[in-house]
Amino acid sequence: MKLYHWRASPHACKVLAVAKYLDLFEKTEEVPMHPWEVDSPLTGISPIGKVPVLIKEDGEPVFDSDVICLYLAQRAKAESGADKGLYPEGDALFTALRQQVVASSIKESAVLCIVEEHARPRTLQSHDWIDRQRARVASCLLFLEDHAHELDAAAPTIGDFSVVMALAYLNYRFPSYVWHPEHPKLTLWYEQMLRHLFVAQSLPMEVHTFPVAMVKLEK
Ligand SMILES: N[C@@H](CCC(=O)N[C@@H](CS)C(=O)NCC(=O)O)C(=O)O
């Protein structure tokens, strides 16, 4: 399998952590590709032009990150015969999928803020837009704190993987945004998740600066 990804992308980091957890990372060739480059070859790989994209052995692309994780979980189960419980049964599945949606909202809003602040000329930046994204992040964090009992670092589901990368991305991109004191239960769970090597070794990191060509997004 080939994984087109970018290490600063929280969506890509989630896939990396899941692949490691499921012992499928060794079967995955990593292909770094910056998603914001103008004329990026990504659009020829996936119609949505976003990372991550997984290319299966038969050449078929799998996207987006949520679908890739589901694919990996099914593949791991088929290959090993064991189910690590990433997608539990019954009500627990809907809890996990709800966590996944809340985490995706945090990731998407955080990425939108970064792009607004880094890709747009200052004169075109919208503070209302940025405030709207920040408010969404704040309400999602509050929801997760109120439902922290549904998170489980000892037996992580796809919800746990989604949330941990959303929080890691906030820490990474917005280090001055100190969300921890107001979300003590979430913080405790987050610290437990970080103790897993498959999480700690997949955290968002910068291996690339924003491409100069991003200014062309304005044209
Ligand atoms: N829903 C997608 C979102 C992926 C996504 O937004 N990736 C960003 C990087 S963090 C991207 O590639 N953006 C490029 C673009 O929007 O043009 C997923 O979960 O994979």
Count the domains in the chain: 2
64 lines ligand 1 (CB under 6 A): yes
Residue 8 Cβ contacting ligand 1 at under 6 Å? no
- For residues 8-28, one letter each, b for 16 or more C-beta atoms within 10 angstroms of the residue's C-beta and e for the rest, the string is bbbbbbbbbbbbbbbebbeeb
* Single pTM value for the model: 0.94
C-alpha 59/C-alpha 16 separation (Å) is: 20
The yes-or-no verdict on residue 155 having pLDDT over 80 is: yes
Quick one: pLDDT at residue 211? 52
66 and 124 inside one domain: no
42 and 121 share one domain: no
Query: What would the pLDDT profile of 12-60 be if each residue is shown by its tens digit?
Result: 999 999 999 999 999 999 999 988 887 888 989 999 999 999 999 999 9
Identify whether 218 is part of a domain.
no
User: How far is the centre of ligand 1, averaged over its atoms, from the C-alpha of 8 (Å)?
Assistant: 11
pLDDT in the model for residue 210:
55
Domain of residue 34 covers 2-85
Tens-place pLDDT, residues 55-66: 999 999 999 999
Q: Does 132 fall in a domain?
A: yes
| Mutational test site, ligand 1, from 5, 18, 51, 112, max ligand atoms within 8 Å of CB | 51
